[in-house]
Chain A
Amino acid sequence: MLNMKNTYTRWQLLFLMALRFLIGWHLLYEGIAKLLNPQWSSIGFLKESQWILSGFAKWVISDPSILSAVDFLNTWGLIAIGLGLILGMFFRVAALSGFVLLVVYYFNCPPLVGIEYSLPADGNNLIVNKTLIEAFALAVLAFFPTSRILGMDALMAGWKKKKEEK
Chain B
Amino acid sequence: MSDKKTDQGPSLRENLGINRDMKRRTVLKAMAGLPVLGLFGIGLLNKREYDLSKKNSIIKELGLDSLELPKSDYGQTKPQGDLIRVGFIGFGTRARQLSRALGFIHPEDMKSWQQRNLLNDWLQQEYLNVAITGICDVFDNHAEDGLATAENYTRPGGNSAPKLPVKRYRTYHEMLADKDIDAVIVATPDHHHARISIDAAKAGKHIYCEKSVALHEDELNELYATVKNSAVVFQLGHQIPQSVVFQQAKEIVKKNILGKITLIETTSNRNSANGAWVRHLDAKGNLKPGSESSIDWKQWLGEAPEVPFSVERFYNWTQWFDYDTGMIGQLFTHEFDAVNQLLRVGIPKSVVSSGGVYFWKDGREMPDSLNCVFEYPKHDLTLMYSGNLASSRSRGRVFMGHDASMELGSNVIIHADSGSTRYKEQIKSGAIDTGSPLLTYNPASQQIDAVSSASEKYYASRGLTTTTLNGRNVDVTHLHLREWLGCIRNGGTTSANIDMAFEEGITCIMAHRAYVEKRCVEWDEVNKKII
Q: Which positions in A face B, CB cutoff 8 Å?
A: 1-2, 17, 21, 24-25, 28-29, 32, 36-39, 41, 43-44, 47, 64, 67-68, 83, 86-89, 118-120, 149-155, 158
A-contacting residues, B438-496, CB 8 Å: 442, 444-445, 449, 453, 455-456, 458-459, 462, 464-467, 469-470
Q: Which residue of A lies closest to B32 (CB)?
A: A150
Q: A29-B40, A119-B458 are in contact. Are A44 and B466 (CB under 8 A)?
A: yes
| B29 interfacial by beta-carbon distance below 8 Å | yes
Known: A39-B442, A88-B30, A152-B33. 4 other contacts (CB 8 A): A24-B33, A39-B449, A83-B37, A88-B32
Kindly state the separation between the CA atoms of A151 and B29 in the bound complex, as whole angstroms: 6
Kindly state the separation between the CA atoms of A68 and B44 in the bound complex, as whole angstroms: 25
Q: Which residue of B lies closest to A120 (CB)?
A: B458
| B12 interfacial by beta-carbon distance below 8 Å | no
Q: Which residue of A lies closest to B470 (CB)?
A: A64
Kindly state the separation between the CA atoms of A153 and B32 in the bound complex, as whole angstroms: 11
Chain A residue numbers with a CB within 8 Å of B27 are: 155
| B48 interfacial by beta-carbon distance below 8 Å | yes
Which of these, B32, B40, B442, B445, contacts A151 with CB under 8 Å? B32
| B26 interfacial by beta-carbon distance below 8 Å | yes
Chain B residue numbers with a CB within 8 Å of A149 are: 29
CB pair B469–A41 under 8 Å, yes or no, is: yes
Q: Which residue of B lies closest to A153 (CB)?
A: B30
Which of these, B33, B445, B466, B469, contacts A87 with CB under 8 Å? B33
| B22 interfacial by beta-carbon distance below 8 Å | yes
Least CB distance, A24 to chain B, in whole angstroms: 7
Q: Which residue of B lies closest to A22 (CB)?
A: B36
| B60 interfacial by beta-carbon distance below 8 Å | no
CB pair A1–B464 under 8 Å, yes or no, is: no
Which of these, A17, A25, A68, A118, contacts B470 with CB under 8 Å? A68
| B283 interfacial by beta-carbon distance below 8 Å | no
Which of these, B23, B34, B442, B462, contacts A1 with CB under 8 Å? B23
CB pair A88–B33 under 8 Å, yes or no, is: yes
What are 24 A-B pairs with beta-carbon distances under 8 A? A1-B19, A2-B22, A2-B26, A17-B32, A21-B33, A24-B36, A38-B445, A39-B442, A39-B449, A39-B465, A41-B467, A44-B455, A44-B459, A44-B466, A67-B469, A86-B33, A86-B37, A118-B462, A120-B458, A150-B29, A150-B30, A151-B33, A152-B31, A155-B26
Which of these, A2, A25, A119, A153, contacts B40 with CB under 8 Å? A25
CB pair B469–A43 under 8 Å, yes or no, is: yes
CB pair A87–B34 under 8 Å, yes or no, is: yes
Chain A residue numbers with a CB within 8 Å of B449 are: 39
CB pair A86–B40 under 8 Å, yes or no, is: yes
Least CB distance, A102 to chain B, in whole angstroms: 18
CB pair A1–B26 under 8 Å, yes or no, is: yes
Q: Which positions in B face A, CB cutoff 8 Å?
A: 19, 22-23, 26-27, 29-34, 36-37, 40, 44, 48, 442, 444-445, 449, 453, 455-456, 458-459, 462, 464-467, 469-470
Chain B residue numbers with a CB within 8 Å of A88 are: 30, 32-33
Chain B residue numbers with a CB within 8 Å of A83 are: 37
In order of increasing CB-CB distance, the 6 nearest A-B pairs are: A150-B32, A87-B33, A155-B30, A86-B33, A154-B30, A21-B36
Q: A39-B449, A154-B29 are in contact. Are A28 and B455 (CB under 8 A)?
A: no
Kindly state the separation between the CA atoms of A154 and B19 in the bound complex, as whole angstroms: 15
Q: Which residue of B lies closest to A68 (CB)?
A: B470
Kindly state the separation between the CA atoms of A24 and B459 in the bound complex, as whole angstroms: 27
Kindly state the separation between the CA atoms of A101 and B146 in the bound complex, as whole angstroms: 54
Chain B residue numbers with a CB within 8 Å of A87 are: 33-34, 37
CB pair B44–A29 under 8 Å, yes or no, is: yes
Q: Which residue of B lies closest to A119 (CB)?
A: B458
Chain A residue numbers with a CB within 8 Å of B19 are: 1
Least CB distance, A74 to chain B, in whole angstroms: 15
Least CB distance, A98 to chain B, in whole angstroms: 15
Chain B residue numbers with a CB within 8 Å of A119 are: 455, 458
CB pair B466–A151 under 8 Å, yes or no, is: no
CB pair B32–A44 under 8 Å, yes or no, is: no
Q: Which residue of B lies closest to A33 (CB)?
A: B453
Least CB distance, B448 to chain A, in whole angstroms: 12
Least CB distance, A3 to chain B, in whole angstroms: 10
Q: A28-B40, A119-B455 are in contact. Are A39 and B445 (CB under 8 A)?
A: yes
Kindly state the separation between the CA atoms of A125 and B7 in the bound complex, as whole angstroms: 65
Chain A residue numbers with a CB within 8 Å of B26 are: 1-2, 154-155, 158
Kindly state the separation between the CA atoms of A19 and B467 in the bound complex, as whole angstroms: 35
Chain A residue numbers with a CB within 8 Å of B444 are: 39
CB pair B48–A36 under 8 Å, yes or no, is: yes
Kindly state the separation between the CA atoms of A67 and B466 in the bound complex, as whole angstroms: 12
Least CB distance, B465 to chain A, in whole angstroms: 8
CB pair A41–B466 under 8 Å, yes or no, is: yes
Which of these, A24, A39, A44, contacts B464 with CB under 8 Å? A44
Least CB distance, B40 to chain A, in whole angstroms: 6
Chain A residue numbers with a CB within 8 Å of B34 are: 87
Least CB distance, B387 to chain A, in whole angstroms: 27
Chain A residue numbers with a CB within 8 Å of B464 are: 44, 47
Kindly state the separation between the CA atoms of A11 and B33 in the bound complex, as whole angstroms: 18
Kindly state the separation between the CA atoms of A151 and B28 in the bound complex, as whole angstroms: 9
Least CB distance, A163 to chain B, in whole angstroms: 16
